[in-house]
Amino acid sequence: MGLLERIGSPADVRALTPADVEQLAREIRAFLVESVSRTGGHLGPNLGVVELTIAMHRVFESPADTFVFDTGHQSYVHKLLTGRQDFSQLRRRGGISGYPSRGESEHDVVENSHASTALSWADGIAKANELQGRGDRSVVAVIGDGALTGGMAWEALNNIADGQDRRLVIVVNDNGRSYDPTIGGLAHHLDTLRTTQGYESVLSWGKRTLRRSGLPGRAAYDALHGLKKGIKDVVAPQGMFEDLGIKYVGPVDGHDEPAVERAMRRARAYGGPVIVHVITEKGRGYTPAEQDIADRFHAVGQIHPETGLPLAPSRFEWTSVFADEIVRIGRRRPDVVAITAAMLQPVGLAPFAAEFPGRVFDVGIAEQHAATSAAGMAFGGLHPVVALYATFLNRAFDQVLMDVALHRAGVTFVLDRAGLTGADGASHNGMWDMAMLGVVPGLRLAAPRDEATLRTALREAVDVDDAPTVVRYPKGAMGEAIDAVDEVDGVDVLTRTGAGERSVLLVAVGAMATTALETADMLAAHGLRATVVDPRWVLPVAPGLVKLVGEHDHVVTIEDGVVDGGVGSAVAQRAREAGISTPVQAFGIPRAFLDHATREQLVGTLRLGPADITRDVLRALGER
């Protein structure tokens, strides 16, 4: 029986000998490689924080001391040390979440896996501890250097510095990466901290040099004062943090557990806000991850544990089509530039960056800045394409509304992972975008159904120079091409089937086109005439679509976004305004947070499959 199997709580971790700790770290890394290679998940980030997490649990006493993980994808080791060692169903329905989860353990606090939020959470918890007399409790926030590029983190630091008696420890897990290498001024600052001799060492060298110089006392004093002032911000750039009023400890080798433990104990004893700067290596201890410069092991599917190669061949994906088409557009349009928020590879901008390196801007985890900076670029004569995961655009809604739309800026937002993404849980489902963006004046939103319509939508989007445009598509593999059989006032007709007297119009939104086509066949089998249309540009509702609504007895909209305020709601409203009384039955995602599961499982639970939709439509028509 190994050491890991005997760990049931953090108290067991604190009871280990130093030799036991080394053995435990080896066992945890072996466990992570073996388990995550079978299920998929965030492998690289967790291999990098093994010693760090062990040290945290040896110094602090969770849950009395609160641990907050920024983003949370590096919490697997924390789960193992708090009694959760069944990873057989990781990120699957009924299994443990890939992020902290209050439903799993009292040791988990923050479930939101959007980055740069942990310091604000920690500030709030520390203030609550202070006001409620829990002065003996500490709050420990773990934030990566990538997440520190987000403006919200700096807003929090500004406030944390104001609470000198609050027991708050900020662990900066510095591995030089988020999804991609960390960029910006902070990254350069942390590089200096990693590579420059310490202030005290250089100061000692300066003192020795001055003594040998033979300068008289006052001159030597003045020279020493000048030396201190001159080297402070060069060789001791931790002053940036300490000038805020936050004590700095480090940098510390994050894979030297005793050293990390000593730094943590110093921070805990200080009794006020402290930054512990820990240098780690993403993917530590797993050769394929250590040697991979593209960071493919940040998150993996099922892989061969020895080689790190995928078990199943990758299929042609939506992201790949975008990656190819944006390069084609860039060759034709020198004014088109691309913006990413620390996710150059995942959103498909790497080929564009390779061909047009001066036309790509990685702003770090700063979606708000990305949107407003894009508005500025549009004002300056460029056409920015801002590529994000759909769930992360939520963070920049005000900027889309007030900086882009209000100023009629020609900015294109490309939303990857739109709709149900499944395994990453509530905060990663890209289901909010259409309902949220539907209130933005002038905004136009396209939901392509296949490769050809995605390419067309992108070309059409960048041709709009007086309003924001959005192109959204789902995660994963792309289905077969779906050709239109007709077009009515700019609306694609995908099929007309059935021969009954009563007619049903099915409005397919993007990737739900296949579902709509299968539903139409089922309705036809029940004696109904069914027409499936795809407006492609779903917001605002096209006049041609409103006309088609008036020509049918019943309308069904099928979307993979929140149904309240979504496309179906917009279609119904436009029809009412046109004096059309045809009932509109909207199918989509309820206004709820969805637990982690596969996309197929969620579709079944939400009754968004063809059979369930058919039954509900027949019931509404009184056919069953």
Cross-strand bridge partners of residue 556? 506, 585
Cis peptide before 540 (omega within 30 of 0): yes
User: Which residue bears the tokens 């060789």?
Assistant: 235
Q: Per the annotation, does 446 bind a ligand?
A: no
505, β-bridge pairs: 531, 555
Q: What share of the chain is helix, strand, coil (3-state, %, to 5)?
A: 45, 15, 40
Q: Is 526 annotated as a binding residue?
A: no
- Residue 211 phi/psi, 5-degree rounding, is -65, -40
The answer on whether 113 is annotated among ligand-binding residues is yes
State yes or no: 325 annotated in a binding site. no
> Would you state the structure tokens that stand for residue 278, as one six-digit string?
């820990």
609 is in an annotated binding site: no
Q: What is the spatial distance between Cα 133 and Cα 136, in angstroms, rounded to a whole number?
A: 8
* Tokens describing residue 428: 């990663």
Active site residues: 282, 367, 395
Find out whether 114 is annotated in a ligand binding site.
Answer: yes
Burial class (CB in 10 A: 0-12, 13-18, 19+), 304: exposed
Alpha carbon distance 478, 487 (integer Å): 23
Check: CB of residue 167 under 8 Å from CB of residue 271.
yes
Cβ-proximal residues to 12 (8 Å cutoff; 6+ apart), any chain: 6
List the one residue out of 396, 320, 409 whose CA is nearest residue 365: 396
Q: Is the peptide bond before 468 cis (omega within 30 degrees of 0)?
A: no
Residue 589: beta bridge partners? 562
Looking at the DSSP assignment, which residues form a beta bridge with residue 278?
173, 252
Residue 76 marked ligand-binding = no
Q: How far is CA 50 from CA 257, 464, 479, in A?
A: 9, 49, 40
Residue 220, CA distances (Å) to 209, 216, 224 in order:
10, 6, 6
173 has binding-site annotation: no
- In whole angstroms, what is the distance from residue 39 CA to residue 95 CA? 11
Cα-Cα-Cα-Cα torsion 232, 237, 242, 244, nearest 10 degrees, comes to: 110
- Secondary structure element (H or E) that encloses residue 34, with its range: helix 18-39
Helix H or strand E segment including 321: helix 318-332
Q: What is the DSSP letter of 356?
A: -
Q: Does 396 count as an annotated binding residue? A: no
A 10 A CB-CB count for 346 gives 20
Please indicate if the annotation marks 147 as binding a ligand.
Answer: yes
3-class DSSP state for residue 177? strand
What is the enclosing helix (H) or strand (E) of 495? strand 491-497
Which residue numbers belong to the known binding site for Mg(2+)?
A: 145, 175
Which residue numbers belong to the known binding site?
A: 73, 113-115, 145-147, 175, 286, 367
Which residue numbers belong to the known binding site for thiamine diphosphate?
A: 73, 113-115, 146-147, 175, 286, 367
